[in-house]
């Protein structure tokens, strides 16, 4: 049986390298499809450990596959490393006020520096364990860029890279320690391009056909559409080209981005079709031409329950991160940087979670780092409104994701506070714990190979026997376009 103390010793051997890697990627802070230095830093360390590297996966320059086989090479085990940052979230690591390193620069406000380095740590420790214990298997770390943008995993899955992978364990930085039973929504995004006729807005407005008007009419139509969609669905938009800055010119060209989300792929696709119909109607009203180009789509994610039980078992055995008083104090200081209304919302959430135990909640709010393990809710089937391209991996091979606390309770992702946590001792400690839990889960699964068959049987019920990418084959990774 897997010896957790022994597993910790393997993790400890590579722990400092992983921390150094996480900090290096944090400093690079490269956005979607531009993560050249971050990807190279990971590849260099993996090559040092003898991993064979395949680059340019699915025609994405910053995507890669790093593989190491022992014995027969079966089963094949996957990890999903991410390393992209977010625009506008540059932040000095030790500042308790918003202080960008580079004004308007990028920062790891979702903790992907920790995510990628944690997967590296688990992969290299697991590889060494297999060699020492003379156990068969292949460890594959997939370098997956652009999760915050158009994604990459769906393109990698469509290219068949997960077809021979037996199962995948992955993780994400968070505020709680759990194998979440919640799913994430499917999403599809497109650029809607309108072309009209330019004219003098004062002298000859009747001769113009405004592309900008068309975009505005599309927005109005989608606002009315929101009343007639399911509660869990979402519609988002942003202008990428408003047609110029001169108000006395009828704008002949405009581009607007739309994204739609829904719990299941078919619900998302139906909603997207309705949005396209609104765009067609807007063009008809304004006398313009419309075309659209799909730029991204993620499948919905639901954890593979067979594997989730194994990962939950590993988490309960490994336990939550053990925080110091200094880390509790730092977390409290960051919590207090949020508005009073956000802090009240966090308190209310804790009251509900702890069944209105006011005394316990007061203790938690004074030491706002999760120090417990929240059990996997086996029978719960609920969706969060966010989306991730991990969902596509979960339709291609049995997949489940772990959440480990790397920030204070109630911390909001995609904020300057989260960028700071991603370079803190709190973030690093959570990262190391995630690597321990994933490694333990991999070994537990190797020791019970019948679980792999059960997980695959569960997947076949979900996907009908094969992965179907939500993107048409003609849609290429929108590098430089998204």
Note the pLDDT of residue 125: 98
H helix and E strand count, the chain: 14, 12
The answer to whether residue 481 scores a pLDDT higher than 80 is: no
Phi, then psi, of 384 in degrees rounded to 5: -90, 155
Model pTM?
Answer: 0.94
Task: Give the other-Cβ count within 10 Å of 444's Cβ.
Answer: 17
Phi, then psi, of 478 in degrees rounded to 5: -80, 60
Alpha-carbon gap, residue 55 to 251, rounded angstroms: 43
* DSSP state, residue 440: H
When pLDDT is cut at 50, 70 and 90, the band that residue 363 belongs to is: confident
Closest CA to 161 of 177, 141, 189, 188: 141
Alpha-carbon gap, residue 411 to 318, rounded angstroms: 24
Note the pLDDT of residue 41: 98
Per-residue pLDDT tens digits for 234-274: 999 999 999 999 999 999 999 999 999 999 999 999 999 99
* Beta carbons of 90 and 104 less than 8 angstroms apart: yes
For the chain, which domains are there? 4-183+300-323+369-463 (3.40.630.10), 186-297 (3.30.70.360)
Alpha-carbon gap, residue 93 to 424, rounded angstroms: 7
Alpha-carbon gap, residue 396 to 167, rounded angstroms: 9
Note the pLDDT of residue 234: 97
When pLDDT is cut at 50, 70 and 90, the band that residue 352 belongs to is: confident
Please state, for a pLDDT cut of 90, what percent of the chain lies above it.
90
117: which 2 tokens? 């380095």
Count of alpha carbons within 13 Å of 245, Cβ hemisphere only? 0
Per-residue pLDDT tens digits for 45-64: 999 999 999 999 999 999 99
Q: Which residues contact 223 (CB under 8 A, 6 or more apart)?
A: none
Note the pLDDT of residue 379: 80
Closest CA to 312 of 117, 460, 138, 169: 169
First to last CA, the chain: 47
For 291, the enclosing helix (H) or strand (E) is strand 289-298
* Bridge partner residues of 236 (DSSP): 259
Closest CA to 65 of 138, 115, 10: 138
366: which 2 tokens? 């004074």
Alpha-carbon gap, residue 473 to 470, rounded angstroms: 9
The DSSP string of 163-224 is TT--EEEEEEEESS-B----EE-EEEEEEEEEE-B--BTTT-GGG-B-HHHHHHHHHHHHHH
Alpha-carbon gap, residue 257 to 219, rounded angstroms: 11
Per-residue pLDDT tens digits for 398-435: 999 999 999 999 899 999 999 999 999 999 999 999 99
Helical spans, DSSP H, in 228-380:
265-286, 305-318, 325-335, 340-353, 358-366
Note the pLDDT of residue 129: 98
Q: Which residues contact 254 (CB under 8 A, 6 or more apart)?
A: 193, 194, 211, 212, 214, 215, 239, 241, 242, 243
- How large is the C-alpha radius of gyration of the chain? 24
């Amino acid at each position: 049986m897997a010896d957790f103390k022994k597993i910790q010793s393997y993790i400890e051997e590579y722990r400092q390298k992983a921390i150094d890697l996480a900090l290096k990627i944090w400093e690079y802070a490269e956005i979607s499809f531009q993560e050249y230095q971050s990807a190279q830093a990971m590849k260099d360390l993996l090559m040092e450990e003898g991993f064979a590297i395949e680059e340019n996966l699915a025609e994405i320059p910053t995507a890669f596959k790093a593989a190491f086989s022992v014995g027969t090479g079966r089963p094949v085990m996957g990890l999903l490393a991410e390393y992209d940052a977010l625009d506008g979230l540059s932040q000095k690591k030790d500042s308790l006020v918003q202080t960008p390193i580079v004004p308007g620069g990028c920062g790891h406000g979702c903790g992907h520096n920790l995510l990628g380095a944690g997967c590296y740590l688990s992969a290299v420790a697991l590889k060494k364990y297999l060699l020492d214990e003379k156990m068969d298997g292949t460890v594959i770390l997939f370098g997956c860029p652009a999760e915050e943008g158009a994604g990459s995993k769906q393109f990698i899955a469509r290219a068949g890279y997960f077809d021979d992978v037996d199962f995948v364990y992955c993780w994400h930085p968070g505020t709680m320690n759990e194998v979440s039973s919640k799913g994430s929504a499917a999403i599809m995004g497109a650029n809607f391009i309108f072309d009209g006729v330019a004219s003098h807005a004062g002298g000859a407005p009747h001769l113009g056909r405004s592309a900008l008007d068309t975009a505005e009419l599309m927005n109005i139509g989608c606002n009315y559409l929101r009343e007639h969609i399911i509660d869990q669905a979402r519609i988002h938009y942003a202008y990428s080209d408003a047609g110029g800055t001169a108000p006395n010119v009828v704008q002949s060209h405009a581009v607007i981005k739309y994204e739609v989300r829904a719990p299941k792929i078919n619900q998302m696709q139906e909603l997207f079709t309705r949005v396209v119909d609104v765009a067609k109607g807007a063009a008809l009203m304004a006398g313009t031409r419309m075309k659209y180009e799909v730029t991204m789509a993620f499948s919905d994610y639901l954890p593979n329950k067979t594997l989730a039980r194994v990962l939950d078992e590993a988490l309960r055995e490994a336990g939550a991160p053990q925080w110091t008083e200094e880390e509790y104090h730092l977390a409290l200081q960051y919590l207090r940087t949020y508005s009073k209304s956000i802090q009240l919302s966090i308190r209310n959430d804790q009251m509900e979670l702890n069944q209105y135990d006011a005394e316990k909640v007061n203790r938690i709010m004074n030491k706002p780092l999760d120090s417990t393990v929240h059990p996997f809710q086996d029978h719960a089937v609920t969706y969060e409104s966010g989306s991730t391209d991990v969902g596509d991996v979960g339709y291609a091979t049995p997949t489940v994701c772990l959440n480990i606390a790397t920030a204070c309770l109630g911390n909001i992702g995609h904020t300057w506070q989260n960028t700071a946590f991603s370079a803190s001792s709190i973030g690093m400690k959570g990262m190391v714990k995630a690597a321990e839990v994933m490694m333990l889960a991999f070994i537990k699964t190797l020791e019970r190979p019948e679980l792999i068959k059960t997980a695959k049987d569960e997947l076949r019920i979900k996907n009908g026997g094969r992965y179907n990418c939500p993107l048409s084959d003609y849609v290429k990774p929108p590098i430089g376009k998204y």
